[in-house]
Chains A and B, each alone.
Chain A
Amino acid sequence: MLPSNGYGGKWKIQESRYHEQAGSLEMMFPNKGFCVNIPLIGYQRAWDIQKRIVSAKTDGYFRDTILILEHPPVITVGRSGNLKNLRVKKEELKKKGIDLYHVERGGDITYHGPGQIVGYPVVYFERYGYRHRRYIYELEEVIIRVLDDLGIRCRRHPELRGVWVGDQKIASVGVAVKGHVAFHGFALNVDPNFEHFAMINPCGSSPDKMTSVGFIAGEEINSIAVRKGIVEHFKEVFKLDLEEISLERLEFMVKNVDRSQIDV
């Protein structure tokens, strides 16, 4: 007997397969997820973990998981991006130790680095009744609420997406969908290195268009509080009950998918 929670036809197929595997009643009401708070993690490692979670979610079942983290300086190019938006030579990136990745998310070129809080929700995004465009809208909603708490008036931009303060961009969004799982996500500028941003035309716009929480508030921001705010608002907006786990535990569970679902 499956819960009537409006998942629709396709979820029944996944759930009944899951039910055979785990036999656990708790798993039939999957509005529980995981949250992993990571101080600093390399781009490749975070990308690999996301892809492994996506596989676990696609092949069987794995809870919706959100990673909250910061990256060492890195530049990534999305599917519609191209290197003409890189304002410096690749050699200069190499000299500064900044890697460049071509990734499967939507959106153009962007920069990640310390002082910028990145969120990677890896979720069955349609289970929330969301379709692609609405999922982006709800990610933006999470950020808008966080900024509201900080007393920063911000808005969405109808064509360009992301979150804006006036005509300056404070947060970016870029998502990929594989099957029914969304990954990649969003990035909120708290106190990033604007000199690094100047090396690209972020998301195709001029680098002067980027701003940050620290810049607007004019004072040092407690980034741990911001991370907490992101998690709380994510829980609210997506109505998801998040259990905080360590990166090591997540990596272990993703490697041992079937067993871990029974233990958890």
Chain B
Amino acid sequence: MEHIGKYTKYGFVKELYYTIEHSWAKVMPDGSARIGITDFAQKSLGPIIGLELPKKNDAIVQMASFGAIESSKIVSDLYAPLSGIVKEVNRNLFDDPELINLDPFGDGWIIDISPDNLEEELEKLMSGDAAIKWIRGEVENTGEPVS
């Protein structure tokens, strides 16, 4: 995991696929896709106190809202990086939504889906160096120095 930012270190995993809404997708060995939000997003929201998520077998659509995430006094939509059918919802989040704050790229994963159109949709997302460039821009936009 890399860290971007001179003062606040924003964790970043360049092998994942990102949307500009700060959601990420990870292609799992069995072909499913795991979805979560970035370290930048969780730091921006603050301690997470609740989530509104789809159920198993619900369909989600790339770049459309698939739920909501709430921190103290503010609620924001969650945007799907890929389209597909929900296979699994991270049940640990119901007891401990702050897992998203503690480990946004790992234990704080949000849902697993069976993607409908993986190859085509991955092309619309950012990854690798393009993603690094984007997150550096996001950090710059906050007014903080990147390095």
Residues of chain A whose beta carbon lies under 8 Å from any beta carbon of chain B: 6-10, 78-80, 104-107, 126, 129-136, 159-162, 173-179, 182
Contact A10 B20 (CB under 8 A): yes
> In the docked arrangement, what's the CA distance between A133 and B72, Å?
8
Q: Smallest distance from the beta carbon of B77 to chain A beta carbons, Å? A: 6
Known pairs A9-B134, A131-B44, A179-B77; A159 contacts B20 (CB<8 A): no
A129 (CB) vs chain B CBs: closest residue: B143
Known pairs A159-B72, A161-B72, A175-B74; A8 contacts B44 (CB<8 A): no
Contact A7 B141 (CB under 8 A): yes
Q: Smallest distance from the beta carbon of B55 to chain A beta carbons, Å? A: 18
B50 (CB) vs chain A CBs: closest residue: A80
Which residues of chain A come closer than 8 Å to B142, judged between CB atoms?
129-131, 134
Known pairs A9-B20, A80-B50, A132-B44; A177 contacts B70 (CB<8 A): no
> In the docked arrangement, what's the CA distance between A6 and B142, Å?
9
Known pairs A9-B20, A106-B72; A133 contacts B137 (CB<8 A): no
A203 (CB) vs chain B CBs: closest residue: B73
Which residues of chain A come closer than 8 Å to B74, judged between CB atoms?
106, 132-133, 135-136, 174-177, 182
Q: Smallest distance from the beta carbon of B65 to chain A beta carbons, Å? A: 8
Q: Smallest distance from the beta carbon of A139 to chain B beta carbons, Å? A: 9
Closest 4 CB pairs of A and B: A131-B44, A177-B76, A133-B46, A106-B75
B134 (CB) vs chain A CBs: closest residue: A9
Which residues of chain B come closer than 8 Å to A159, judged between CB atoms?
47, 72
Which one of B43, B46, B141 contacts A8 once the chains associate, using CB atoms below 8 Å? Answer: B141
Known pairs A79-B68, A106-B72, A161-B72; A178 contacts B141 (CB<8 A): no
Residues of chain B whose beta carbon lies under 8 Å from any beta carbon of chain A: 20, 40, 43-47, 49-50, 52, 68, 70-77, 134, 137-138, 140-143
Known pairs A6-B140, A177-B76; A132 contacts B46 (CB<8 A): yes
Q: A131-B43, A136-B74, A159-B47 are in contact. List 5 more A-B contacts (CB 8 A).
A: A79-B75, A130-B142, A133-B44, A133-B72, A176-B75
Contact A106 B137 (CB under 8 A): no
> In the docked arrangement, what's the CA distance between A250 and B24, Å?
38
Instruction: Label chain B's interface by main secondary structure.
Output: mixed
> In the docked arrangement, what's the CA distance between A126 and B76, Å?
13
Q: Smallest distance from the beta carbon of B143 to chain A beta carbons, Å? A: 5
A158 (CB) vs chain B CBs: closest residue: B72
> In the docked arrangement, what's the CA distance between A175 and B71, Å?
10
Which residues of chain B come closer than 8 Å to A106, judged between CB atoms?
70-75
Contact sample, A vs B, 6 pairs, CB 8 Å cutoff: A8-B141, A9-B20, A133-B71, A135-B74, A136-B73, A161-B73
Known pairs A79-B52, A161-B73; A132 contacts B141 (CB<8 A): no
Which residues of chain B come closer than 8 Å to A162, judged between CB atoms?
73
Contact B44 A177 (CB under 8 A): no
Which residues of chain A come closer than 8 Å to B45, judged between CB atoms?
131-133
Contact B70 A80 (CB under 8 A): yes
> In the docked arrangement, what's the CA distance between A159 and B72, Å?
7
A157 (CB) vs chain B CBs: closest residue: B72
Contact A126 B141 (CB under 8 A): yes
Q: Smallest distance from the beta carbon of B140 to chain A beta carbons, Å? A: 7
> In the docked arrangement, what's the CA distance between A182 and B77, Å?
11
> In the docked arrangement, what's the CA distance between A133 and B74, Å?
8
> In the docked arrangement, what's the CA distance between A129 and B137, Å?
11
Which residues of chain A come closer than 8 Å to B40, judged between CB atoms?
131
> In the docked arrangement, what's the CA distance between A16 and B102, Å?
38
Contact B140 A105 (CB under 8 A): no
A126 (CB) vs chain B CBs: closest residue: B141
